[in-house]
Structures are given as structure tokens and as C-alpha cells.
Amino acid sequence: MGRNRTRTDPDRYLTIRQGNYHYKRRVPVTIAHLDERAPHVRASLKTDDRTLARGKRDLLEAADDALWASLITKGVTDPARRRYEAAVKRVEALDFTFHGATYFEEPEAFNDLMDRIRHVLASGQEDRIADPLLGAVEVPDTKVSDAFDIYCNEIVADELIGKSQVQKDQWKKVKRRAINNFIKLNGDIAMEEIGIDHAKKVYRHWLGRIAPKEGSSTAGASSGNRDLGNMRVLYEAYFKYQGDARRDNPFEGLGFSLKKKRSRPPIPTEWIRDTMMKPGNLATLNDEARGILLILIETGARPSEICNLEPHAIRLSNKVPHLSIEPREDPANPREIKTESSRRLVPLVGVALAAAERHKTGFPRYRNRENELSATLNHFLRANSLLPTKAHTVYSFRHSFEDRMKEAGLDDELRRLLMGHTVDRPKYGSGGSLDWRRRELMKIALPFDQSIV
């Protein structure tokens, strides 16, 4: 084993001694004089399991790649960070978590420290593993902008796996606003430099917009809370990731009172029936956007849920025609839904059924373009005076649908299920048959002229 050292060899750098796997790798000749371990790097992986050994080998291999790259560049990039990253990977390969030196100054860390010292002494490799294992490797300063990249690409990378590119961009956009505002007020300083004065500067910035001493408010409390909250999360997650979870968070406790939460008003049923659905009023709206709008009226779905429907999720041949609102689990083109409770089956009735029959394969023009859809619909509705007030938006149809169900006396749990809201009790059964759901929805179905479809 170990003669073929190409990157495609699953057992590269692995050897067996006395029944256990070891990592053995030659230091590149060009930097052998800079690495005291030359000519070979050796480390016991302390396992006879090949799969586990390969995983530990991967960490050590990545650590050495990073270290040697820093020695080659000699500061052209950031050798201190490369050495630090190499130390982190090496410690993880030893089944420990990397911590900076300050961590071991705490009384609670005493037992962990003793375990590490015992491991160092038992390994016979004190000169090679003691520094990273005992926190003697300097943790480099990281600018706020770089910390945000680490947060997105490493710390919460798993949370982004199921999102479409549009969803990823939107997720980052909201959080990046907080980063940009912080940098605008304080500069792109190192995370380690951030203190309460920097956090208060962000707080006072938003305070001046939410509750100005003169003039009227230019921002809501939720906007300020979102910025402060995103900085608080970044700070906590970053230092926890660096092995410094006990660090006081300067953003903790800073926020604004939400006395009244803004809510989109529902569109009156009469307005939908007599104005919105009046023949001719939607005629100049493009075909797919009109189809989506008509489905929204009788399903209460989110616009993004309808425009991203795959053909198989528009089930017109079933005994009860319905939509299956579900995440898209295609690895090449994923898309998540808002919450697990948003996964649901919604019967098609009235104008929604007619529109779905016209668009059996979905809405390719707006697939993965939900922001473009919302902009198109809101612009059209406002330009043609089809919204009751400036406070109403296309999302108001969702609120109207819920009100119509409530006024018709539909079961509370059914309403929650059809809206994709959480049901606050243990789940039993399927929530009622599709046929029953359709009968209940027929109670609120609005009359329509086929010409509007």
C-alpha cells in the first residue's frame, strides 16, 4: 500500500504499522529547508479502520497543503492565516477542537488541557503537535468582510445547500447589508477589535432613523433589529468557530422595541371579484404572470411557490386536481421552501383550476425569478389602479385568502394547513382528504368569466 501517490489514489500517504494506519508524506524538496519535519511528515492515525483513516488523512493532507503554500508564497498571500488553518486541520485530525491560548486560561478548560498534554506526551511528537494542540499557534486577525465570507462559505455552508441561487443571493443580500452598514460606520476593522463602542455606533445610526429628534421616522424598528441581529449572529458564530465561544458579544442586548408589527392589509373580496377579475382588466398582463396571479387568488400560496412549480407538481389528472407545494430536490437546481410546514397539497378550484389547466407545465418564464415576478405584478397592478391602496401588494392576496376562509367558517386547522402555517399540536393523520379540502374551498370560490384566463 502507498506506492501510488496520485490525488486519485484513495489510499495515498497511508501506511500500516503494527496494525494501525499512519500518515506518511514527503516534504517537497523546494521547501524542505523550511519545514523542520523534512524529509518526511509522519503521524499515527490511531485507527485500524480504513475509512476513518482516510478521513483523518484528508485533514492532515489539507493542513500540509496549506502550510507548504504559505512557505512557498512567503507572505504574497497571508502566511499567518495559512499556518493557522493548517493548525486547525491538524488538531481536528487528532480528534480535538482547535482553541486559542486564551481558552486554556479558563478554569473550565483544565480537564481538556490535561487530556491534550497527555496526548502530546504519549505521541512522542511533542515538537510537531504540541503548539497547535495547546493553542500556541497565533490566531490571525480577520477583517469583518473576510469573517462574513468565512461565515457563508464554511460556518453555515450546509444551510445553503438546499437553496436555489436566487434564494442564496437573497439570503446573503439581507445579511450583507448589515456588514456593509457596519463597515461604513466603523471601517473594515478586525473582528478582534470590535467593542461596545462600535456596536453602539450601529445602534445610534438606526436610532437616528427610527426615532429622530426632529422630523419623521425614515425606517422601522425591524430594519434596525435585523442589522444588529445579523452582526450579533456573525460575531457569535465566528468566534465560536475559532474556538472562542466564551467571548462577550458587544451586540448582545442592543435592539429596538417592536410596538406594532407592520402587516400587509388584505384585499377586500368585493374588490377582487368586481375589479381585479373584471374581464379586460388583466388582459395586457403577460400570459404567465396573469396565470400565476389567478392561481394566487384561490390558493393563498406565496408567489414564489407558484412560479417555481415543476410540471409534476401540477396534478390535474388526479381525482382531485391539486398543487403539490414542495422543495425542489434536484442537486443541480435545488430550491427550498420557507418551512417544513409549507410542504402541502392544495386543491384547485374556481379560477385557479382554469389557470392551471392553461399552464400545465408551469411557468418557465418566472422559474427561479420570483423577484422579477413580484416586481412585474406589483408594477402592473399599481399602474392599472388594480390595488385598493398604496399599502396593498401582490402578497395581500394571501392575506385575503386567509380572511375569506375564516369568514366562511373553515376549520382553523385546515386553514393553517392550506396556508402552510404550523399546526400547534402533534400531527395525526393527513389533515383530511383532498376531496374534503376541495369541498371546503368551494365555499369561498369566486365566480369568474372564462375570458380572464
Domains contained in the chain, CATH given: 14-133 (no CATH), 144-241 (no CATH), 269-452 (1.10.443)
| DSSP code string of 336-393 | --S-GGG-EEEE--HHHHHHHHHTTT--GGGTT-HHHHHHHHHHHHHHTT-SSSTT--
User: What's at 288, amino acid-wise?
Assistant: E
The cell numbers describing 413, all together, are: 386547522
Cβ contact 448:295 at 8 Å:
no
Q: Is the pTM of this model over 0.85?
A: no
**Which of these, 333, 332, 329, 325, lies nearest to 367 by C-alpha position?**
333
- pLDDT averages per 10-residue partition of the chain, 453 residues: 61 90 86 77 85 85 75 56 72 75 79 85 74 75 91 87 89 94 95 95 94 81 93 94 85 85 84 96 97 97 95 95 91 84 94 97 95 96 96 94 95 92 62 87 96 96
Residue-level pLDDT at 332: 81
60 vs 24: CA distance, rounded Å:
10
363 vs 345: CA distance, rounded Å:
19
Helix residue ranges, H only, 101-189: 110-123, 126-133, 144-150, 165-186
Provide Rg for the chain, Cα atoms: 29
For 22, phi and psi rounded to 5 degrees? -130, 150
Q: Provide CB contacts within 8 A for 431, sequence distance 6+.
A: 413, 414, 417, 423, 437
**Which of these, 229, 146, 142, lies nearest to 193 by C-alpha position?**
142
Q: Provide CB contacts within 8 A for 55, sequence distance 6+.
A: none
